[in-house]
Amino acid sequence: MPPLPEAGDWIDVGAADELARTPLRELKVGGHRIALSYRDGVFGAVSGVCNHSGGPLGQGRLDRDFIVCPWHAYKFHRVTGSGEPGFEDDRVPRHEVQQAGGRVLVRAEPSSQRHKLPHAPHPLAREPVRGPGPVRVLGLATTAMNAQQPRVSTSELLLDQALAHAADTLGAATQRLALRDLSFRACEGYYSKSAHACTWPCSITQMDPDDQLDRVYEGLVHWADVVLVATPIRWGAPSSLYARLVERLNCVQNQITTHGKVLIRDKVAALIVTGGQDGVQAVAGQMLGFFAELGFVFPPFPYVAHSRGWDAEDMERNVAAVQRSESLRQGARALVERAVTLAQRLQASTLLPARLERGGRKAHGGGH
């Protein structure tokens, strides 16, 4: 039987036979969080804190000799701590491991240093600072349709009316984004793993250069003073594309919860809701509640809506009714006027304090 190592910072973490039954586990060794692994008769120990966002490596999984972080799938060699091929210099600290007397001992102090590959901050991570210029109005169209077989969207008819009025009459700068034209992945639920696993910018945006929701993030957080969101009613709810957007906007709201950081300040939201059947107030209420949670404020009478009622199954007549309705067009123009007026008042005053307290919920973490 090999002799036990000399006393010092070697910590007995358990029986070798017992520890070998689990490929990967998280341990606390001398004040350090450790990812202890076992494969092919060899124990390995590295720091249990991922380089990317501090994820718990010991709660991940093994991919051959690499530990896969459970938060965002970054990989580190289970023995050396080095990153996966191509990213070897992205290293987490390693800890020496010995077996003696049927026990596993881990040296508490690491034998190598953490080294993070330099990464330029994501462009979206900059501090939101409004530059000079006219009021900026962003229109978000959430109607789903086949680009090869386009059709009339009643919510977009009114959105376009509002945007044209904002530009031609109110002198605002305008942009229009249709979610159906953007390629973006659905939320992958990092928040469900840990509140701090949901990052700003969204982890998907950081990891996937082809994800195009960065355009919406840029518009909402950095560009727009006014956001007009247009949706149809689908079975008493906003569109499916709107639902996908809302889930991906959790990264904006979660900054308040985890860091006390409000990304949306002095910005106005207003809504356009149309449907052949009823459900206007339910849909508008959900949307108002969500955008309020992001930090948006609302003008008086914050939405314009249209519905022909529960029994209106003849959708072609619904489209014709909206196309003919001067009152709806006038309502869309009046809506954007109220929103722009409120945005101008916010820019001309300092209504909000430097630090915003979010009543009823406690932020986890510091900063503001």
**pLDDT band, very low/low/confident/very high, at 64 (cuts 50, 70, 90):** very high
Residue 163 lies in a domain: yes
Range(s) of the domain holding residue 200: 123-348
Mean pLDDT of the chain: 90
**85-98 mean pLDDT:** 94
Looking at residue 363, what is its pLDDT? 52
Number of structural domains, the chain?
Answer: 2
Domain co-membership, 136 together with 253 = yes
Evaluate if residue 359 carries a pLDDT over 80.
Answer: no
Domain co-membership, 240 together with 327 = yes
How far is the C-alpha of 55 from the C-alpha of 72, rounded, in Å? 8
Looking at residue 368, what is its pLDDT? 34
Give the residue among 362, 81, 50 at the shortest CA–CA distance from 197. 50
Residue 57 lies in a domain: yes
Q: Output the six-digit token pair for 225.
A: 């003073």
**pLDDT band, very low/low/confident/very high, at 195 (cuts 50, 70, 90):** confident
Domain co-membership, 200 together with 164 = yes
What Rg value do the Cα atoms of the chain yield, rounded? 27
Residue 360 lies in a domain: no
Own/partner contacts of 14-19, CB < 8 Å, gap of 24 or more, are 14/103, 14/104, 15/102, 15/103, 15/104, 16/43, 16/99, 16/102, 16/103, 16/104, 17/102, 19/43, 19/104
Evaluate if residue 360 carries a pLDDT over 70.
Answer: no
Domain co-membership, 103 together with 131 = no
Query: At 76, which CATH number?
Result: 2.102.10.10
Residue 357 lies in a domain: no
Domain co-membership, 194 together with 98 = no
HSE, side-chain direction, 13 A CA sphere, residue 203 = 23
Residue 368 lies in a domain: no
Task: Enumerate residues 6+ apart whose C-beta is below 8 A from 281.
Answer: none
How far is the C-alpha of 65 from the C-alpha of 88, rounded, in Å? 14
**253-272 mean pLDDT:** 93
- 3-class SS of residue 14: strand
CA max distance for the chain: 92
Evaluate if residue 352 carries a pLDDT over 60.
Answer: no
- Per-residue pLDDT of 200-253, as tens digits, reads 999 999 989 999 999 999 999 999 999 999 999 988 899 999 999 999 999 999
Residue 116 lies in a domain: no
Domain co-membership, 192 together with 323 = yes
Looking at residue 357, what is its pLDDT? 64
Domain co-membership, 143 together with 205 = yes
Domain co-membership, 76 together with 156 = no
Backbone angle region of 338, left / alpha / beta, with phi > 0 → left and psi within -120 to 50 → alpha: alpha
Domain co-membership, 195 together with 91 = no
Evaluate if residue 147 carries a pLDDT over 50.
Answer: yes
